[in-house]
Amino acid sequence: MNSQVTQDRHKIFTHWVNQYGDALYSWAFHKTNDESIAQDLVQETFAGAYQNLDGFNKTSSPETWLFGILRNKIVDHYRQSAKANTSSLHALDDTSLWFDEDDRWKKEYRPEPWEGSEVNLLDDPEFDSIFTHCVDELPVSWSTCIRLKYLGEKQTEEICQELEITATNLWQILHRAKLHLRNCLERNWFKA
């Protein structure tokens, strides 16, 4: 590659980093809720984009292309996290944690009804902070499934393929994760 082409590539890429870096970081942080992971994912996104700059066919905007790369990096991150913690996926077959010998809810896990509220809780920064804390308390494989399904808005088939689990296993993970989230929210928000 000649010097002028290298300079032009560098100029274009520097412009993209300056123009889209903050938006990419915000989205990565929203999806991971971890500053260092979000920073790493954005760096990996830009590194991948720079290496494949010739592959950018300009049928989409640079922003769309970069967000597509970042989306794949986020999915890869959660896939690796889930694979590293497969022991907690297999532990899901043991339902004795939530149910007694008669297959009834144990008292400490029995959901309690919540009273209605006119305020949209998701718009409340304090609630959002507690909710994030509760998601972070989950085993990594559980929080990965919750994030992919509800924050990443992935379809069941996509999640199962990415994490290499069955739909039944995903349903169990999501069900149990939601129960833990509910319990955590009851302790830290509704009864606080």
User: Are 175 and 100 members of one domain?
Assistant: yes
* Cα separations in angstroms, 36 against 20, 72, 95, 128: 18, 17, 35, 20
Q: How far apart are CA 97 and CA 127, in angstroms?
A: 27
DSSP label of 151: I
In terms of domains, do 124 and 158 share one? yes
Q: Which two three-digit tokens encode residue 125? A: 């920064």
Of 83, 80, 50, the C-alpha closest to 66 is 50
pLDDT value for 91 = 47
Per DSSP, 186 falls in state: I
Q: In this structure, are 80 and 43 located in the same domain?
A: yes
Give residue 62's identity as a one-letter amino acid code. P
Domain boundary among 84, 109, 133: 84
Question: Could you read off the pLDDT tens digit of each residue along the chain, which spans 192 residues?
Answer: 577 777 877 888 888 889 999 999 998 888 887 888 889 999 999 888 888 887 787 788 889 889 889 988 888 887 777 665 544 444 444 555 656 666 566 777 665 555 555 456 767 788 888 888 898 888 888 888 888 888 788 898 988 888 888 888 888 888 888 888 888 888 888 775
Question: Based on the domain organization, do 32 and 105 belong to the same domain?
Answer: no
The helix/strand/coil state of 146 is: helix
Q: Count the neighbouring beta carbons within 10 Å of the beta carbon of residue 46.
A: 19
Amino acid sitting at position 34: D
Question: Quick one: pLDDT at residue 39?
Answer: 92
Please indicate, yes or no, whether residues 104 and 166 belong to a single structural domain of this protein. yes
* Domain final residue pick, 49, 84, 119: 84
Q: Which amino acid is at 129?
A: S
Q: CB within 8 A of 49, min separation 6: which ones?
A: 13, 16, 56, 65, 66, 69
* Shared domain check, 57 and 25: yes
Domain containing residue 140: 88-190
Which residues, in sequence order, are CB contacts of 99 under 8 Å at separation 6+? 105, 106
Q: Is the pTM of this model over 0.85?
A: no
Query: Which residues are paired to 105 by β-bridges?
Result: 99
Q: Are residues 137 and 73 in the same domain?
A: no
3 state SS of 99: strand
Number of independent structural domains in the chain: 2
> Do 75 and 108 fall within a single domain?
no
CATH of residue 106's domain is 1.10.10.10
CATH number of the CATH domain containing 38: 1.10.1740.10
User: What pLDDT does residue 151 have?
Assistant: 78
Question: What is the distance of C-alpha 8 from the center of its chain?
Answer: 35
- DSSP class of residue 59 equals S
